[in-house]
């Protein structure tokens, strides 16, 4: 009954993970851009966390000024192409488009955005360049959406930037976490290369900043440090049997999937634990990898799920089955996953309570825990005076991105606790301005 067969080649993988927002051709872009009303004080702009001047770029596409459109987008958002494909537009720009109120399909803003930026990337022509050198140096930790966006903006303002990235590729979760049907590795990395080519920051890969010594080295060599480190690995649940073979964290599973495609295998029967967007992704991905049966288990009701409706619909659409008001109590099996023992739950006064005697086992050979990412509190503890809030998020000034250690700035998941690519890129731009303000107010000789 599986909708998909396990992919055995890159071609089959790409077919199973066909792009949800495929690239528009010129005709489609013309037709779609023609529909935009050019609203006054457009609600779509307000709904875009990076504040792209949407009616402006759509009008530019429509008048054949695709380069101008790409400039409008990139001026506001360095992840212009990626965001067009991975943003939850249904709840952002497209969700705010006035056409919704007329029960007419909203403008496909995301696809138009990617149409323009992709054309620009492919042309290879630079839109921006580094600003006049200021003599200031900034270290950026993490080459995710936050780190790269901050690096671009800092370079535009004339500062020297070195980016330190623990992994092998730039763009953070855009290439390691986002579902493969939203964006391909090729186009993610093409945008990263396009940005680096224009702005000329250095990126050091396999270069985790992990120890107190690493931190001190940065502080000695740079005038300011930007933290774009995102979140950590999947939190553990503390269930018996959690370390069995076949029980994996969602973020880790997806990272493997994004990097190795059809070379990895999923179980025949997969249970995904969680009710957020990552759980929806992991469930959809398991189904598209050819799992025969995918169960999405959440401890509260369907309506309580944190995931966007359209993400749940996507998962349902590929055959995922929802199992609600259940909590896992044990991963069964002898060193190897054989099932998940659940207890039914009842929610009273907002509290989830197990219903005694209601336990049952869902047999499976793979468990994916999509129960949230941990915070990088240990690493952050290495930095003097850097305060975190109760949830482990870096405390920062939203106007400047400055942390409680004045030389440190931060943005993205590490500060907001885990949002979208567009939030990270927008916040990082603001933080870069904050860094600029800070650096230019410092006496260089000190």
Partner 1 sequence: MPDLSINFAGIKSPNPFWLASAPPTNSGYQVMKAFDAGWGGAVWKTLGVPVVNVSSRYGGVNYRDKRLIGFNNIELISDRPLSDNLREIEEVKKRFPQHAVIASLMVQSRQEWHDIVRASQDAGADGLELNFGCPHGMCERGMGSAVGQEPNVLRTIVEWVMEVATVPVIVKLTPNISDITEPALAARQGGANAISLINTIQSIVGVDLDQFSPYPIVDGQGTNGGYCGPAVKPIALNMVKNCAQHPGVQLPISGIGGIENWRDAVEHILLGASSVQVCTAAMHFGFGIIREMTSGLEQYMREKGFQTIQDMVGRALPNVKHWEELNLHYKVTASINEQKCIGCQLCYTACEDGAHQAIRLNEGTRVPEIIDENCVGCNLCSLVCPVEECITMERRDDGSRHETWQQRTVAGNIPTEFEDERAGGRHHWVPEPAAALGKEKHKTLPGKARQFEPVPTSPPVVRE
Ligand X SMILES: Cc1cc2nc3c(=O)[nH]c(=O)nc-3n(C[C@H](O)[C@H](O)[C@H](O)COP(=O)(O)OP(=O)(O)OC[C@H]3O[C@@H](n4cnc5c(N)ncnc54)[C@H](O)[C@@H]3O)c2cc1C
* Binding residues vs ligand X (CB under 6 A): 86-87, 141-147, 164-167, 172-174, 177-178, 182, 208-210, 228-230, 251, 254, 278, 281, 376, 379, 412-414, 419-422, 424
Least distance to ligand SF4, CB of residue 43, Å = 5
21 contributes a contact to partner 1 by CB under 8 A: no
d(CA 297, CA 233): 20
Q: Choose, by CB under 6 A, the member of 24, 36, 297, 383 that binds ligand SF4.
A: 36
3-state secondary structure of 219: helix
**Nearest residue (CB) to ligand X, 34 versus 236:** 236
Least distance to partner 1, CB of residue 182, Å = 23
CB atoms within 10 A of CB 196: 19
d(CA 363, CA 332): 9
7-15, 53-61, 216-224, 259-267 -> range binding partner 1 (CB under 8 A): 53-61
**Contacts with ligand SF4, 362-391, as mask; x by CB under 6 A:** ------------------------------
225 contributes a contact to ligand SF4 by CB under 6 A: no
37 contributes a contact to partner 1 by CB under 8 A: yes
Kindly identify the residues of this chain, within the stretch 86-145, that bind partner 1 according to CB under 8 A: 98-99, 101-102
Give the CB-side neighbour count of residue 170, counting CA atoms within 13 A.
28
38 contributes a contact to partner 1 by CB under 8 A: yes
CA-nearest of 37, 168, 190 to 114 is 190
d(CA 75, CA 93): 17
94-102, 155-163, 184-192, 310-318 -> range binding ligand SF4 (CB under 6 A): 94-102
Residue 143, token pair as written in the block: 């080459």
d(CA 343, CA 385): 44
Sign for the CA dihedral angle at 97, 99, 102, 103 comes to: negative
Residues 354, 373: contact at Cβ < 8 Å?
Answer: no
Residues 48, 107: contact at Cβ < 8 Å?
Answer: no
H/E stretch holding 226 reads strand 224-227
91 contributes a contact to ligand SF4 by CB under 6 A: no
30 contributes a contact to partner 1 by CB under 8 A: yes
Where on the phi/psi map is residue 13: left (φ > 0), alpha (ψ -120 to 50), or beta? alpha
55 contributes a contact to ligand SF4 by CB under 6 A: yes
What's 99's DSSP letter?
A: G
What are the residues binding ligand SF4 (CB under 6 A)?
36-39, 42-44, 54-55, 97-99, 107, 109
What are the residues binding partner 1 (CB under 8 A)?
30-31, 33-34, 37-41, 43, 45, 48, 50-54, 56, 62, 72, 75-76, 98-99, 101-102, 426, 429-430, 433
């Amino acid at each position: 009954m599986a909708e998909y067969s396990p992919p055995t080649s890159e071609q089959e993988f790409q077919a199973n993970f066909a792009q949800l927002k495929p690239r528009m051709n010129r005709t489609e872009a013309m037709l779609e851009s023609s529909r935009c009303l050019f609203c006054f004080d457009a609600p779509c702009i307000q709904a875009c966390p990076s504040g792209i001047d949407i009616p402006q770029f759509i009008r530019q596409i429509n008048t054949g000024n695709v380069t101008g459109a790409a400039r409008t987008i990139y001026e506001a958002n360095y992840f212009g192409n990626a965001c067009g494909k991975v943003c939850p537009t249904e709840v952002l720009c497209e969700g705010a488009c006035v056409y919704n109120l007329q029960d007419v399909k909203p403008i496909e803003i995301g696809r138009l955005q990617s149409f323009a930026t992709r054309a620009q990337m492919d042309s290879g022509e630079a839109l921006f360049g580094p600003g006049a050198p200021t003599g200031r140096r900034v270290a950026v930790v993490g080459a995710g959406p936050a780190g790269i966006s901050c690096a671009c903006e800092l370079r535009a303002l004339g500062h020297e930037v070195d980016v330190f990235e623990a992994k092998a590729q730039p763009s953070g979760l855009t290439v390691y976490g986002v579902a493969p049907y939203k964006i391909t590795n090729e186009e993610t990395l093409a945008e990263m290369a396009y940005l680096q080519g224009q702005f000329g920051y250095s990126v050091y890969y396999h270069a985790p900043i992990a120890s107190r010594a690493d931190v001190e080295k940065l502080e000695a060599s740079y005038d300011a440090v930007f933290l774009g480190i995102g979140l950590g690995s999947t939190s553990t649940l503390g269930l018996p049997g959690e370390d069995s073979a076949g029980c994996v964290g969602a973020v880790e599973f997806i990272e493997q999937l994004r990097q190795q495609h059809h070379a990895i295998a999923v179980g025949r029967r997969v249970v995904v634990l969680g009710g957020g967007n990552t759980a929806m992704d992991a469930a959809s991905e398991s189904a598209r990898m050819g799992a025969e049966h995918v169960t999405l288990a959440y401890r509260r009701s369907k309506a309580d799920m944190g995931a966007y409706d359209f993400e749940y619909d996507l998962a349902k659409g590929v055959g995922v089955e929802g199992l609600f008001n259940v909590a896992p109590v044990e991963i069964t099996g002898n060193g190897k996953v054989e099932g998940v023992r659940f207890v039914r739950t009842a929610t009273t006064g907002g509290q989830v309570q197990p219903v005694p005697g209601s336990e049952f086992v869902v047999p499976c050979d793979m468990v994916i825990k999509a129960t949230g990412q941990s915070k990088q509190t240990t690493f952050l503890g290495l930095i003097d005076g850097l305060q975190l809030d109760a949830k482990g998020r870096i405390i920062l000034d939203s106007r400047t991105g400055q942390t409680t250690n004045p030389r440190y700035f931060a943005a993205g998941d590490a500060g907001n606790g885990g949002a979208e690519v567009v939030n990270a890129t927008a916040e990082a731009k603001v933080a870069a301005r904050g860094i600029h303000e800070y650096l230019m107010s410092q006496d260089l000789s000190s």
